[in-house]
């Protein structure tokens, strides 16, 4: 739904099909550029499963996350942000970054 459309009654029949087609066309248009899936699905599942453990050591988190360079980069960048590092000091490594992010 675009910003200028008002919510209306549920659509049926051709109106519903037209709306579904428009949604698919919008998604296709958004994906027309470079589509990047930055993380490995397997790594994401391993991390999700491991993070359900309450006593998971930082070293284990770092070893799982460490296989995904883009995720490591994002976590390092986040750990160095003003929110997590008011003095502006960068995290030394991914373990330090994760420990810093976990403190807040």
| Predicted confidence (pLDDT) per residue in 9-18, tens digit | 777 788 877 7
Give mean pLDDT, residues 4-8: 57
Given this model, what pLDDT does residue 98 score? 92
Given this model, what pLDDT does residue 46 score? 80
The dihedral formed by the CA atoms of 92, 94, 38 and 49, expressed in degrees to the nearest 10: -170
pLDDT averaged over every residue in the chain: 80
Half-sphere exposure of 54 (CA within 13 A, CB side): 0
Give mean pLDDT, residues 27-53: 73
pLDDT digits (tens, 9 = 90+) for 78-95: 999 999 999 989 999 999
Query: Residue 29: in which H helix or E strand, if any?
Result: helix 13-30
Residues, the chain, total? 104
Give mean pLDDT, residues 41-49: 80
CA dihedral sign, ordered 44, 46, 52, 53: negative
Cα–Cα dist 62/85, whole Å = 19
């Amino acid at each position: 739904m675009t910003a200028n459309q008002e919510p209306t009654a549920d659509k049926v029949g051709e109106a519903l099909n037209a709306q579904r087609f428009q949604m698919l066309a919008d998604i296709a248009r958004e994906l027309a550029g470079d589509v990047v899936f930055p993380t490995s699905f397997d790594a994401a599942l391993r991390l999700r499963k491991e993070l359900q453990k309450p006593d998971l050591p930082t070293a284990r988190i770092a070893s799982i996350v460490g296989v995904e360079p883009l995720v490591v980069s994002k976590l390092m960048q986040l750990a160095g942000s003003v929110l997590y590092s008011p003095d502006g000091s960068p995290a030394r490594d991914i373990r330090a970054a994760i420990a810093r992010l976990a403190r807040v």
